[in-house]
A and B are shown apart, each in its own frame.
Chain A
Amino acid sequence: MPDSTGRILWRRFPVLGGVARGIRRGTVFWGIGSFLFFMLYFFHVRRQIDLRFLYHAGNFALPSGTVIDFPIYRYGSEFLKGFLVRPGGLSEYVASGLCQYYYYSYLGPLVVTSVALLMYFLSHCLIRIYGGRGGGVLRFVPPVLLLIACNRYTFVLHNHVALVAALVGSVIYLFVAARTSRALVGFIVFAVTCVIVYCMAGGSYMLLAILCVSFELLTRRRYLLGGLYVLIALLVPLGGAWFFGIAFDDAYVRPSGLFPFDGTLGVTVLWGLYVFFVLAAVAPLIRCATGWLARVSGAFRPSGKLQAACTAAVLVAASVLSALLTVDRDVRRLLKANYLARMERWGELLEDVRRHRSQGYTPSVMLDINRALFETGQLGSRMFSYPQHPSVLFEIGSHAVDYKGGCEVLLRLGRINEAEHAALEAVEINGERPETLRSLAVIYIVKDQVDTARVFLTMLSKDPIAGEWARETLRRLEDDPRMSSDEQIRYLRSVMPLRDMIVTSTRSTESMVGTMNTREMLLLALLVRNRKNRMAFEYLMAHYLLTKQPGKIACSLRRLDDFDYPAVPDHYGEAVLMYAYNVRRQVKPAGSAIRACTRRKVRKVIAIVGDCKGDKDAISKALDAEFPDSYCRYLLTDKSGGSR
Chain B
Amino acid sequence: MRRLLAFAAVLAVLSGAAGAQDQKYYDLAKGDYPHDVAAGPSGEVWFAGQKAGIAGRLDPASGQIDRIPLGKNSAPHGVIVGPDGAPWFTDGGQNAIVRVDPATKEVKVWPLPPERMPYTNLNTAAFDGRGRIWFTGQNGIYGRLDPKSGDMQVWDAPKGRGAYGITGTPKGDIWFVSLAGNYLANVDLESGAATVYEPPTKDQGARRVWSDSRGRLWVSEWNSGNVSVYDPSAKSWKQWKLPGEKPRTYAVWVDPDDKIWLTEWTANAVVRFDPDTETFESFPSDRPNANVRQLLGRKGEAWIAESGTERIRLIRYASKTN
Tell me whether A and B are bound partners: no
Q: Which residues of B contact A (CB under 8 A)?
A: none
Q: Which residues of A contact B (CB under 8 A)?
A: none
